[in-house]
């Protein structure tokens, strides 16, 4: 089957519907669309899905691409090709509002919107459990490249903070 | 152009690869859990950088070698990293001293490379510079904590710095091969930010109550493949599996 350009709306809808159900392997509460890993679906023959890595050294990058490939293939969209781009670099501002809410509900303090530029200067993460902003940093490096360890001084709960980048 | 770019991409990629491998030796051995996580994270970032630069090197060379082939099937004389990154970890203070000199340099380097006329280099640098800023902060903070800490931590970090200092000049050395790429707007001219690096380093050392080490005869040669004995041992461990089982797949 030849897919005619421009992309039909239904193909775009189908692709994004599938991708919105592909979880991040490290933080499965959010999808690759929520995180802003999926950047574009470009017209052409075949159409190309453009994705971007989050952190340079993120070991999940390969797994993410493989899961996207498998999900597309499984949904009958095997004709889409996948292209990885580094530019413009991904920042935490690419995470959708929906994605931020899912992170919070999961217990990970999301990065404040629009904070990527000032990321290195004293970001205070609100506790995802009680909402207090009376928190402190335990360790700037956490269990994955994208997270830092913080602790809430109000309720005493330690929590992960998605690093602003 | 292809050959010069191949060489330059190897220099960038091998710096990151070798230091990433060195830091990963700390995994499970660091003094505290938080430090273990930090060093492993920094190692991961560096290995990520090297993947991009070595991929570029393979494309510039045009012989079909990918990043893994260049990392695991190249011998020691063909590595182009600076001597600083291959130095043994020593104790924690010596590791931090090495990281301190390197990350401050790499951050300034990537700030320049963000403006490279070669788009792929600019993209890698723009992405990685944010991560390297974390590395610099980690190393600077530990320099101060160790230097301005106990008598023992002060003595250890002063020793570590004294050992690493002789490898700093090589970071800024420009040879003929590099001069051409600088002229083309592809490579960064490190001489331009030597002054800024000195200011940064001096400030942290002052905060850390550490003396600036006495000048020494600079140790150089890494960029043309003249390495210390340490690199061969590092590679033998890193390359063992792919060499013993060529084509092995997970």
- Per-residue pLDDT reduced to its tens digit, B1-49: 689 999 999 999 999 999 999 999 999 999 888 899 999 999 999 999 9
Residue pLDDT, tens place only, A15-63: 999 999 999 998 999 999 999 999 999 988 889 999 999 888 888 888 9
The pLDDT score that the predictor gives to residue B129 is 95
B115 touches chain A (CB under 8 A): no
Average pLDDT over residues B123-142: 95
pLDDT at A164: 74
Query: Are residues B174 and B191 in contact, defined by beta-carbon separation less than 8 angstroms?
Result: yes
Average pLDDT score over residue span B105-122 = 97
User: pLDDT at position B151, please?
Assistant: 98
Q: Is the pLDDT assigned to residue A165 strictly greater than 90?
A: no
Q: Classify residue B144 as exposed, middle or buried by CB count within 10 Å of its CB (0-12, 13-18, 19+).
A: middle
Label residue A67 exposed, middle or buried (CB < 10 Å: 0-12, 13-18, 19+).
Answer: middle
pLDDT at A4 over 80: no
Contact list, A55 vs chain B (CB under 8 Å): 45, 48, 131
Nearest CB neighbour to A141, from listed B37, B122, B128:
B37
Residues in chain B within 8 Å Cβ distance of A140: 38, 134, 137-138
pLDDT > 60? residue A5: no
Residue of B66, B67, B69, B75 lying closest to B49 (CA atoms) = B67
Question: Are the Cβ atoms of B45 and A86 closer than 8 angstroms?
Answer: no
| Residues of chain A positioned with their CB less than 8 A from the CB of B124 | 56, 86
**pLDDT band of B215, cuts 50, 70, 90:** confident
Q: A137 by DSSP, 3-state: which? A: strand
The answer to whether the Cβ–Cβ distance between A145 and B41 falls below 8 Å is yes
The whole-angstrom separation of Cα A40 and Cα B93 is: 46
The per-residue pLDDT for range B183-214, each reduced to its tens digit, is 999 999 999 999 999 999 999 999 999 999 98
Q: How many other CB atoms are found less than 10 A from the CB of residue A4? A: 10
Domains of chain B: which residue ranges?
Answer: 2-244
List every span in chain A annotated with CATH 3.30.300.130. 9-84
Q: How far is B137 from chain A (nearest CA, A)?
A: 9
pLDDT in tens, A33-44: 999 999 999 988
Residues 6+ apart with CB under 8 A from A155: A127, A129, A130, A132
Taking domain B2-244, whether its CATH number is 1.20.1440.230 is answered by: no
Are B38 and A139 inside 8 Å of each other by CB?
yes
Q: What is the pLDDT of residue A87?
A: 86
| Shortest distance, CA A118 to any CA of chain B (angstroms) | 11
Rounded Cα distance between B46 and B73, Å, is: 19
We find that the CATH architecture of domain A9-84 is 2-Layer Sandwich (3.30)
Taking phi over 0 as left and psi of -120 to 50 as alpha, with beta for the rest, B185 belongs to left
Check CB contact under 8 Å for A90 and B127: yes
How many Cα atoms occupy the beta-carbon half-sphere of B38 within 13 Å?
23
A88 dihedral zone (left: phi>0; alpha: psi -120 to 50; beta): beta
- Please answer yes or no on whether B38 and A119 come within 8 Å at the CB atom: no
Upstream peptide bond of A46 is cis (omega within 30 degrees of 0): yes
Continuous segment of H or E residues that includes residue A136 = strand A135-139
* Lowest-confidence pick of A9-13, B111-115, B118-122, B172-176: A9-13
Contact: A86, B127; criterion CB under 8 Å: yes
Q: Do A57 and B124 touch (CB under 8 A)?
A: no
Paired with A160 in beta bridges are A108, A149
Chain B: residue nearest A61 by CA? B48
Q: Flag whether residue B182 sits within 8 Å of chain A, measured between CB atoms.
A: no
How buried is A42 (Cβ within 10 angstroms: 0-12 exposed, 13-18 middle, 19+ buried)? Answer: middle
Task: Name the pLDDT band for B69 (thresholds 50, 70, 90).
Answer: very high
For chain A, how far is it from start to end, CA to CA, in angstroms?
A: 42
Band the pLDDT of A7: cuts 50, 70, 90. low
pLDDT tens by residue, A148-161: 899 999 999 999 99
Chain A residue numbers touching B130 (CB-CB < 8 A): 89, 119, 165
Mean pLDDT of chain A: 87
pLDDT above 90 covers a percentage of chain B that reads 94
Selected residue with higher pLDDT from B146 and B215: B146
Query: Structure tokens of A21?
Result: 């159900």
Q: Give the pLDDT confidence of B76-93 residue by residue, as tens digits.
A: 999 999 999 999 999 999
Tokens of B113: 């490379």
Tell me, what's the ipTM? Answer: 0.81
Find the range with the poorest average confidence among A93-97, B106-110, B162-166: A93-97
- Chain B residues in contact with A141 (beta carbon < 8 A): 34, 37-38, 40-42, 134, 138
pLDDT at A112: 75
- In this predicted structure, the answer to whether residue B132 has a pLDDT above a threshold of 80 is yes
CB contacts < 8 A, A to B, total 69
Rounded to 10 degrees, the C-alpha dihedral A144/B231/B53/B21 comes to -10
Give CB contacts under 8 A, 24+ apart, made by A147-156. A147/A108, A149/B34, A150/A109, A150/A125, A152/A127, A154/A127, A154/A130, A155/A127, A155/A129, A155/A130
The set of residues, in sequence order, having a beta carbon less than 8 Å from that of B121 and lying 6+ positions away, is: B12, B56, B113, B186
**Band of residue A123 on the pLDDT scale cut at 50, 70, 90:** low
Q: How far apart are CA B75 and CA B77, in angstroms?
A: 6
Minimal C-alpha gap between B42 and chain A (Å) = 9
């Amino acid at each position: 089957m030849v897919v005619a350009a421009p992309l039909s709306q239904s193909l775009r809808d189908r692709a994004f519907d599938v991708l919105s159900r592909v979880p991040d392997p490290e933080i499965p509460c959010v999808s690759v669309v929520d995180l802003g890993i999926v950047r574009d679906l470009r017209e052409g023959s075949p159409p190309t899905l453009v994705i971007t890595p989050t952190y340079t050294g993120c070991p999940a990058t390969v797994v993410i691409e493989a899961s996207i490939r498998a999900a597309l293939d499984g949904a009958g969209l095997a004709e889409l090709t996948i292209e990885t781009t580094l530019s413009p670099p991904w920042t935490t501002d690419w995470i959708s509002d929906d994605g931020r809410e899912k992170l919070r509900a999961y217990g990970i303090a999301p990065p404040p919107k629009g904070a990527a530029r000032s990321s290195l200067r004293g970001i205070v993460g609100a506790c995802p459990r009680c909402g207090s902003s009376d928190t402190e940093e335990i360790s700037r490096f956490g269990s994955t490249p994208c997270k830092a360890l913080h602790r809430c001084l109000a309720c005493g709960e330690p929590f992960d903070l998605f690093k602003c980048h | 152009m292809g050959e010069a770019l191949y060489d330059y991409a190897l220099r960038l990629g091998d710096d990151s690869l070798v230091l990433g491998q060195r830091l990963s030796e700390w995994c499970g051995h660091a003094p505290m859990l938080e430090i273990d996580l930090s060093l492993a994270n920094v190692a991961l970032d560096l290995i990520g950088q090297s993947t991009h630069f070595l991929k570029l090197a393979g494309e510039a060379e045009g012989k079909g070698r990918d990043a893994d082939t260049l990392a695991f099937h190249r011998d020691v004389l063909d590595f182009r990293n600076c001597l600083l990154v291959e130095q043994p970890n020593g104790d924690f203070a010596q590791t931090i001293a090495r990281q301190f000199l390197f990350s401050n340099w790499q951050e300034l380097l990537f700030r320049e490379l963000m403006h490279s006329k070669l788009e792929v280099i600019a993209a890698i640098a723009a992405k990685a510079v944010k991560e390297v800023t974390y590395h610099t902060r980690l190393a600077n903070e530990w320099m101060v904590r160790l230097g301005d800490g106990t008598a023992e931590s002060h003595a250890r970090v002063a020793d570590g710095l004294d050992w690493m200092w002789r490898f700093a000049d090589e970071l800024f050395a420009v040879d003929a091969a590099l001069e051409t790429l600088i002229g083309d707007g592809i490579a960064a001219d490190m001489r331009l930010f030597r002054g800024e690096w000195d200011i940064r380093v001096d400030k942290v050392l002052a905060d850390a109550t550490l003396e600036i080490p006495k000048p020494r005869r600079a140790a150089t040669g890494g960029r043309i493949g003249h390495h210390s004995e340490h690199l061969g041992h590092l590679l033998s461990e890193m390359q063992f599996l792919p060499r013993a089982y060529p084509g092995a797949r997970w």
